[in-house]
Amino acid sequence: MSSQQEVDDGETEGSKRKRHGMLKMYYGIEKSGGATLDPCDINGAHFEADTYLSNLIKQRSLTELMDEETKMVTQIRALDSDMQTLVYENYNKFISATDTIRKMKNDFKKMEDEMDHLASNMATITEFSGTISNTLQDRRQHITKLSGVHALLKKLQFLFELPARLNKCIEMKAYSAAVRYYTKAKRILHQYQHMASFQGINEDCNKIIHQLCDHLREQFKDKESSAKDLAQCVDLLLQLNEPAEKLCEEFLSHARQKIDEDLQLLDRQIRLQSGEEIKSEGETAAQAYLATPMDVLEFVDTGCNGFLSNICLVIASYNDMFLSKPQEDENMDAIALKKLVFFVNELMEKYFDYVQRRVRLERETGDNTILVRSLDRFHRRLQAMNKLLPDTDFSRAGTDIVSKAAKDRVYHYLQSLKQHFSDCMTDVRQNLAAPRTVGKHDSNSYLNDLLNNTQTAVVDQIKSVLNNLQAFLDSDITFAMKPYFRGPFCVQGVREGLIVAFLNHVSSTCLEFCEDKDKGSAPPALLLILSKLCIEFEASTISYLLTLTEEQFMMTERFPVTSVTDLCNNAKDAAQKLLNHFVKVQGLSISQMLRKSVETRDWLNTIEPRNVRAVMKRVIEDITAIDAQVGQLYEEGVRKERSSDSSRRTHPHSYMGSAALRKGGQWNYAPSIDNSLMSNIQKLFSEKIEIFSAVEFSKVSVLTGIIKISLKTFLECVRLRTFGRYGLQQIQVDTHYLQLYLWRFVSDENLVQVLLDEIVCSTVHRCLDPAMMEPSVIDLICERG
């Protein structure tokens, strides 16, 4: 509504100015600068009607001429109306001006009469003044002389009464009045001390002043004296010419007694908070209250309202008494300032130490609001102290304490996160060790659930810690916006000292499970979970946590920081080593069974095989269980294409061996060629198998690594034994049974085939009576087993 009214008013003013301009042009009163030489410009000064009319008739039609006429008539009427309005407005102004001038004539008439009256009065006053001066001219010098004598008599009377006045003031404890009287008469008494009468007065006054100085010093040393009383005592002693340097030392020594009591209270609170029992008999109610531990905010308030307030009062009083007043000795100001600075610095160092020790005792893991508020209040009071003592800068020391407290808090949270991660690992181990009831846990997702729960718990704990630390950056905290606090706290403290340090701790802790010390202490499933946890951290969690930290703490300062890539590489390296260690542990576990089964059997005197040995069945069961376990956390992986008859294949060496035995009746059917040489020649053309190679993050790769270690151990154990005929045939049965099941777990079935072939060949080489079992019999035994 108001905006529309403003637009209407603007249009009204604009139309008025336009009409006034048109009137000015109509009456020929426009400025010469705006005139134009065009004779056809109806608004110009050089307008010619005949020329304009002839041009108009030539250029316009009859209808346009009639419209133009109508338009001109309308404009002429509008101009006439505006002219009448202007004449009316000016007429009213002329009438008002006439009335004002008539009134001014009447007012000036009265003023002229008053000025004439004032001039006559001034003339009368001048006349009377001249008469008085002429009358008193003869007596002026006499009056001046009598006045001087009167003043001198009053001074003499004051001097003679001075000892009595001073004694009376001391009795009434009006020490300031006594000093004022003495300082007023001191110069005269000193000047006329050679006269007997003045000499006696001077001696009496000096004795009284000595007594006054003693009273002032007693009051100065009284512990119950207030700061105002101390300031008055020092001021009076300075007026009595007492040594300023000595007074400075006495004043600061007396002030220190009270300030030490404040520091003792803070020290007592620190000892109470530390758990020390402080017993004192005969305590009052107030003392008993102070004997209870205070929280950190109350502790800082006590220090600010007690110690800092008192030391500020001492500084202000000291400045008023010694530094703000002119001293006879030019070096006195520097000496006095040096004493004050030394006094304050010594006490502030103790106070800073107490505050730092009390803040360090804050071990609560909850909200930081109280701690931050106490630090903010402490920081604010120190800012105010700099104005009292410009030669010192306590705000920097206070900021260092605040920064150290924030750093300690970050370190405390880092230890808390480490402990939480350790507790998570303990929970996982307990869950893995606890027997699982059928139906209570899904066997296909049990490890995945443990992994998700652990990852969620760790991330949620980090989020909670970050939220707690944001209290240090609240908008109403004075030190939060200071660049010397915010940058180091956010980047070096929170990002590097907390998040990056914790992520490195997770990686290093996981790597500790790969070390050889405490063999077998970590369950293999835990290694698998930690490996997958590191993979999840490398894939998304590390980037998410660092981005969340940088957003919450608005890190704009550029500091050298650990890159996300480095952290991800550390996590991936830890995951790789954990998975390698898992393969090694599981491979060695199965290898141990195979080793015992080979070493504890008499292979020379064994009976003819009728079944697959139980240890082979146990091996297949364990590998199946490991396959299911790894499948909960890792994808299947890539397998090489296998032949359609993989499950029915037998060992080529078995065929070769049985055929050779059938033809020649002996294993060494070619006397010129050694069997071991033939075996070595065959190995040259087979692909080399790397047993302890790096494992890929897939189920097939993990199982392949475990099976390679197991079969390699089986092979090495076979090479250390000597076999009979039935021992060789039992190995044939066992290896064929393994081949029937192991091919489905590995990435390349040829790998299993090659290792099993080597086991059979090694057995044949170490057999005293090599006679191979028929493949059909082997198949029958394995199918039955």
| The residue to which tokens 């209870």 are assigned | 292
What is the pLDDT of the chain when averaged over all its residues?
A: 77
Residue 222 DSSP SS3: coil
CA-wise closest residue to 531 among 578, 568, 585, 570: 578
Instruction: Give DSSP secondary structure letters for 412-466.
Output: HHHHHHHHHHHHHHHHHHHHHHSPPPBTTB-TTTHHHHHHHHHHHHHHHHHHHHH
By CB atoms closer than 10 A (0-12, 13-18, 19+), residue 219 is middle
Q: Which residue intervals of the chain bear CATH 1.20.1050?
A: 243-392
Question: What's the confidence (pLDDT) of residue 151?
Answer: 66
Position 504 confidence tier, pLDDT thresholds 50, 70, 90: very high
Is the pLDDT higher at 665 or at 731? 731
Looking at the predicted structure, is the pLDDT value of residue 645 above 60? Answer: no
All residues at 6 or more sequence positions from 254 whose CB lies less than 8 Å from its CB, including other chains: 220, 221, 225, 230
CATH classification of 243-392, choosing from 2.60.40, 3.90.400, 1.20.1050, 3.40.50?
Answer: 1.20.1050
Q: At what angle do helices 394-433 and 446-469 cross, to 10 degrees?
A: 170
Cα→Cα distances 474→360, 378, 691, 736, Å: 21, 16, 58, 72
pLDDT at position 654 is 42
State if pTM tops 0.85: no
Nearest C-alpha neighbor of 772 from the set 682, 668, 660, 664: 660
* Confidence label for 152 from pLDDT (cuts 50, 70 and 90): low
The model's pLDDT over 334-348, given as tens digits with 9 standing for 90+, comes to 887 888 888 888 888
Which band of pLDDT confidence, cut at 50, 70 and 90, is reported for residue 733? very high
Six token digits for residue 760: 């059979």
Measured distance CA(42)–CA(45) in Å, rounded: 8
CA 458 to chain centre: 21
Which of 179-193, 365-379, 526-540 is most confident? 526-540
Six token digits for residue 53:
């009319």
Average pLDDT over every residue of 645-651 = 44
